[in-house]
């Protein structure tokens, strides 16, 4: 099946034609605890690039990478600097999903579960694909259907087969989950857990207040240092001292002359990168589709009213009204209304099918009729149009020149660094650098995580320095500013600091540990005294605790200085009025409760929420039951050799930095 681009709401403008690659919510099964397991492939070793075999069907590294990228895109649709770092993690999840999916399809086949052509057609027409292929109940047409699939690198046969797989898995899930049931007692207990309310007094002790009163003596600090010495052993990291010279790539770039021939050569080698797709520059006026009511249905009267407003705006445009002014005044798209409705340049597969079809069929300056989509009503104006073409060298010259300059600069800097290294090994760093006009810096001792002047963060350089041996000849390593020639001068091994060297740290840790202990002790004393005296208020005053009173709070509520009522404070829902709790620790504070009142929900409340709670519990049990089924099925298939996982390929795929291949 294909994956639809997951966006918040139905009114998003960018849907990539509604289609991505294979994966549908109902087929993404991630119920198996733990990570991938199983033996490395035994006999019949497959070629490289195969992550797993499930009953003879290959799951390839390319499939996993593709799915991982799509999963990451759904999680981070705006992109970001950390996307590459997250790919190995998503690759692990993607591999799990694809293996589980294949496991379920194999089991569905064994049980004789099939998907008929009529069922596939019904799913496309009435299921979660209907908005894309049957908007408003009408088929978009064979040509547009095939074009949409083609943009997702799918054929109708492949896509419809995957929809059939989805149906088969749904049938298997229904078959396995049908034995799940929920008793009336379970529904009522869950209702009470969710809807009972309590009100209580609570006395609060804070760790910070206790910490302020701590003034450790020298003997206490010495004793603490000695008892925790293992944590301080070698806590001063290894440090090294180097002499280094940076060959600055930016300076090398400044001296590079880029000729027309250089630009032409790069352009000819990368011509395919400069193919400009067909684009249109459009503006629109958007009247939103009314939201569904509590029953999940859209009020058709409100839909008619929205269409009437759009029709009226179109009539005003035909009578000479200015498009920009109407868009600013009436369009319900806040992102474009304030700029006269302009959406800028858009390409194919960026908008909803109805919008795209209308926009690309207009002539420059033409205004469309009212276009009805699942998100509302659009009036579109075509402001400009660009046909698909290969951009000329003149069009992309400004893009190419800095690339060529940077490449030439890097080559020049690397050559200069190699020359410097050769001379440094022959006549020493200082003489070699002076001859080339490059400054040499002698560092102080530094740790691996420190930054050196002129280099900034330089992990590759630091790796090279901290793997070098003393008295080794000069070497070269990379930094973001360019290659660096360096010579290791001295090494200070890791060391254990004396008390004097880390006195402030020891004192801080002493206070933290002692105040936590005091907090627990005082909270217990507060609880014991309040219970003995049957008076929380009096005990709080005697021990310097702050007394507060909560509002009526639900089981999922929050209370100041206590936090979530789902934690230790949930004991309040088991107490009787007048009863006093034990100590409740919430991290930096502790409290003791005295229940004042509890409110039980009414039978009418239960009647109103019964069906909803029953459905929630039933879905949870069905998911748990199906999850157990999948887990057991995986275990059995792995034991019998029907699932084989290539651990070496998996490690390579999920290794940090593997994003280079993803």
Which CATH number does the domain housing residue 244 bear? 3.10.50
Mean pLDDT of the 638-645 span: 89
Other Cβ atoms less than 10 A from the Cβ of 645: the count is: 22
pLDDT in tens, 245-301: 999 998 988 888 888 998 999 888 888 778 777 889 999 999 998 887 767 678 889
Q: Between 590 and 393, name the one with better pLDDT.
A: 590
57-60 vs 584-585, strand pairing mode = unpaired
Is 202 within a domain?
Answer: yes
Q: Residue 421 pLDDT > 90, yes or no?
A: yes
Predicted confidence at residue 80, as pLDDT, reads: 59
What CATH number should be reported for the domain holding residue 102? 1.10.4030
pLDDT in tens, 483-498: 999 999 999 999 999 9
Residue for token pair 């929630």: 616
Output the DSSP codes for 431-477: HHHHHHT---EE---B-TT--BTTTBS-HHHHHHHHHSPTTPPPEEE
The secondary element (H helix, E strand) that includes residue 504 is helix 503-533
**Minimum mean pLDDT range among 319-333, 388-402, 435-449:** 388-402
Q: Which of 492, 510, 532 is the last residue of a domain?
A: 492
**pLDDT over 90 percentage in the chain:** 57
Q: Residues 166, 24: contact at Cβ < 8 Å?
A: yes
The secondary element (H helix, E strand) that includes residue 541 is helix 536-543
Q: How far is CA 535 from CA 202, 441, 546, 602, in A?
A: 11, 71, 14, 31
Output the DSSP codes for 272-311: GGGEEPPEEEEEEEEEEPPPP-TTS---HHHHHHHHHHHH
Letter string b/e over residues 170-207, b meaning 16 or more CB atoms within 10 A of that residue's CB: bbbbeebbeebebeeeebeebbeeebbbbbbbbbbbbb
Letter string b/e over residues 450-489, b meaning 16 or more CB atoms within 10 A of that residue's CB: eebeebeebeebbebbeebeeeeebbbbbbebbbbbbbbe
Is 465 within a domain?
Answer: yes
Give the C-alpha separation, 68 to 63, whole Å.
8
pLDDT in tens, 497-534: 999 999 999 999 999 999 999 999 999 999 999 999 99
Q: Residues 596, 549: contact at Cβ < 8 Å?
A: yes
Does 473 share its domain with 456? yes
The secondary element (H helix, E strand) that includes residue 479 is strand 475-479
Q: Residue 653 pLDDT > 80, yes or no?
A: no
Helix (H, G, I), strand (E, B) or coil at 411: helix
Does 166 share its domain with 209? no
- Return the closest-CA partner of residue 553 out of 93, 218, 98, 196: 196
Q: Helix 218-227 and helix 503-533: axis angle, to 10°?
A: 100
Does 138 share its domain with 28? yes
Predicted confidence at residue 143, as pLDDT, reads: 86
Tokens of 37: 């397991």
Q: Residues 528, 268: contact at Cβ < 8 Å?
A: no
Strands, E, within 516-625: which ranges? Answer: 546-549, 558-559, 563-564, 584-585, 589-599
DSSP-derived secondary structure letter, 525? H
Is 605 within a domain?
Answer: no
The secondary element (H helix, E strand) that includes residue 200 is strand 197-206
What CATH number should be reported for the domain holding residue 346? 3.10.50.40
Other Cβ atoms less than 10 A from the Cβ of 354: the count is: 17
Predicted confidence at residue 483, as pLDDT, reads: 95
Is 115 within a domain?
Answer: yes
Predicted confidence at residue 4, as pLDDT, reads: 29
Mean pLDDT of the 239-250 span: 95
In sequence order, which residues have a C-beta less than 8 Å from that of residue 407 and are 6 or more positions away? none
Helix (H, G, I), strand (E, B) or coil at 245: strand
pLDDT in tens, 192-224: 888 999 999 999 999 999 999 999 999 999 999
Q: Residue 598 pLDDT > 50, yes or no?
A: yes
Does 80 share its domain with 162? yes
User: What strand order describes the sheet that includes 197-206?
Assistant: 546-549, 197-206, 589-599, 584-585
Give the C-alpha separation, 598 to 265, whole Å.
81
Give the C-alpha separation, 59 to 38, whole Å.
15
Does 124 share its domain with 166? yes
Q: Which of 492, 517, 534 is the last residue of a domain?
A: 492
Predicted confidence at residue 45, as pLDDT, reads: 44
DSSP-derived secondary structure letter, 44? S
Q: Per 3-state DSSP, what percentage of the chain is helix, strand, and coil (rounded to 5)?
A: 50, 15, 30
Predicted confidence at residue 84, as pLDDT, reads: 64
Rounded to two decimals, what is the model's pTM?
Answer: 0.52
Is 9 within a domain?
Answer: no
Is 607 within a domain?
Answer: no
Q: How far is CA 243 from CA 443, 459, 480, 488, in A?
A: 6, 17, 18, 7
Give the C-alpha separation, 421 to 473, whole Å.
9
* Cα 396 to the center of its chain, rounded Å: 34
Is 570 within a domain?
Answer: yes
Q: Which of 346, 369, 387 is the last residue of a domain?
A: 387
Residue for token pair 């209370």: 559
Mean pLDDT of the 349-367 span: 90
Q: Can you give the length of the chain in residues?
A: 662
DSSP-derived secondary structure letter, 22? S
**Torsion angles phi and psi, residue 186, rounded to 5:** -65, -40
The CA-to-CA distance between both ends of the chain, in Å, stands at: 22
Q: Residues 497, 554: contact at Cβ < 8 Å?
A: no
**Torsion angles phi and psi, residue 507, rounded to 5:** -65, -40
Q: Residue 617 pLDDT > 90, yes or no?
A: yes
∠ CA(174), CA(179), CA(185), 5° rounding?
Answer: 125
Does 158 share its domain with 218? no
Q: Residue 77 pLDDT > 80, yes or no?
A: no
Q: Residue 21 pLDDT > 70, yes or no?
A: no
Does 30 share its domain with 167? yes
pLDDT in tens, 342-353: 999 888 777 888
Is 351 within a domain?
Answer: yes
In sequence order, which residues have a C-beta less than 8 Å from that of residue 468 and are 6 or more positions away? 475, 488
DSSP-derived secondary structure letter, 658? G
Q: Residue 22 pLDDT > 50, yes or no?
A: no
Does 27 share its domain with 104? yes
Give the C-alpha separation, 399 to 292, whole Å.
48
User: Considering its fold, how many domains does the chain have in total?
Assistant: 4
* Cα 267 to the center of its chain, rounded Å: 36
Domain encompassing residue 78: 16-179+622-661
Does 217 share its domain with 345? no
Does 567 share its domain with 458? no
DSSP-derived secondary structure letter, 363? P
Predicted confidence at residue 66, as pLDDT, reads: 84
**pLDDT over 70 percentage in the chain:** 90
Give the C-alpha separation, 98 to 23, whole Å.
9
Which long-range contacts (C-beta less than 8 Å, at least 24 apart) are formed by 605-608?
Answer: 605/191, 605/195, 606/188, 606/191
Does 201 share its domain with 173? no
Does 525 share its domain with 594? yes
């Amino acid at each position: 099946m294909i994956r639809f681009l997951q966006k918040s709401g139905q009114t998003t403008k960018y849907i990539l034609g509604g289609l991505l690659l294979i994966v549908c919510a109902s087929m993404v099964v991630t119920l198996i605890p733990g990570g991938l397991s199983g033996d490395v492939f035994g006999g019949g070793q497959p070629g490289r690039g195969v992550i797993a075999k499930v009953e003879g069907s290959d799951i390839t590294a390319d499939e996993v990478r593709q799915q991982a990228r799509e999963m990451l895109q759904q999680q981070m649709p705006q992109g970001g600097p950390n996307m590459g770092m997250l790919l190995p993690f998503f690759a692990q999840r993607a591999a799990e999903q694809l293996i589980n999916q294949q496991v379920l399809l194999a089991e569905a086949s064994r049980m004789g579960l099939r998907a008929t052509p009529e069922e596939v057609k019904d799913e496309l027409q009435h299921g979660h694909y209907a908005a894309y292929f049957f908007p408003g109940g009408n088929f978009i047409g064979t040509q547009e259907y095939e074009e949409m699939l083609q943009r997702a690198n799918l054929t109708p046969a492949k896509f419809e087969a995957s929809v059939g797989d989805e149906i088969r898995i749904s049938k298997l899930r229904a078959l396995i989950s049908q034995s799940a049931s929920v008793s009336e007692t379970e529904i009522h207990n869950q209702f009470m857990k969710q809807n009972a309310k309590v009100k209580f007094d609570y006395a609060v002790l804070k760790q910070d207040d206790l910490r302020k009163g701590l003034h450790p003596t020298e003997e206490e600090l010495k004793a603490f240092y000695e008892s925790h010495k293992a944590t301080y052993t070698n806590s001063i990291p290894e440090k090294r001292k180097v002499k280094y010279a940076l060959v600055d790539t930016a300076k090398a770039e400044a001296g590079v002359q880029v000729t027309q021939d250089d630009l032409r050569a790069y352009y000819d080698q990368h011509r395919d990168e400069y193919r400009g797709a067909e684009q249109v520059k459009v503006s629109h006026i958007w009247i939103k589709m009314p939201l569904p009511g509590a029953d999940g249905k859209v009020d058709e009267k409100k839909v008619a009213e929205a269409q009437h407003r759009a029709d009226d705006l179109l009539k005003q445009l035909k009578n000479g009204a200015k498009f920009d002014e109407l868009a600013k005044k009436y369009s319900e798209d806040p992102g474009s209304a304030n700029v006269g409705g302009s959406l800028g340049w858009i390409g194919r597969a960026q908008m909803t099918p109805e919008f795209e079809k209308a926009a690309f069929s207009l002539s420059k300056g033409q205004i469309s009729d009212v276009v009805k989509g699942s998100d509302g009503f659009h009036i579109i104006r075509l402001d400009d149009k660009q046909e698909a073409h290969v951009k000329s060298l003149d069009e992309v010259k400004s893009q190419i020149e800095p690339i060529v300059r940077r490449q030439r600069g890097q080559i020049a800097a690397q050559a200069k660094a190699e020359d410097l290294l050769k001379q440094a090994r022959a006549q020493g760093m200082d003489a070699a650098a002076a001859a080339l006009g490059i400054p040499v810096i002698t560092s102080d001792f530094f740790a691996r995580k420190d930054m050196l002047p002129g280099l900034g963060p330089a992990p590759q350089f630091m790796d090279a320095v901290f793997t070098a041996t003393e008295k080794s000849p000069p070497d070269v390593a990379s930094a973001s500013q360019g290659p660096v020639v360096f010579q290791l001068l001295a090494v200070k091994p890791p060391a254990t600091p004396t008390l004097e060297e880390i006195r402030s740290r020891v004192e801080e840790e002493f206070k933290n540990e002692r105040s936590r202990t005091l907090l627990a002790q005082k909270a217990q004393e507060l609880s014991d005294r309040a219970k003995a005296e049957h008076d929380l208020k009096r005990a709080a005053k005697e021990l310097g605790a702050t007394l507060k009173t909560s509002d009526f709070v639900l089981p999922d509520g929050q209370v100041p200085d206590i936090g979530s009522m789902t934690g230790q404070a949930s004991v309040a829902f088991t107490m009787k009025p007048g009863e006093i709790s034990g100590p409740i620790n919430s991290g930096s504070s502790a409290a003791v409760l005295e229940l004042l009142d509890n409110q039980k929900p009414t039978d009418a409340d239960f009647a109103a929420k019964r069906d909803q709670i029953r459905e929630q519990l039933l879905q949870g049990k069905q998911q748990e039951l199906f999850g157990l089924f999948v887990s057991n099925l995986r275990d059995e298939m792995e034991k019998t050799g029907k699932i084989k996982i290539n651990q070496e390929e998996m490690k390579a795929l999920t290794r940090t930095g593997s994003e280079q291949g993803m």
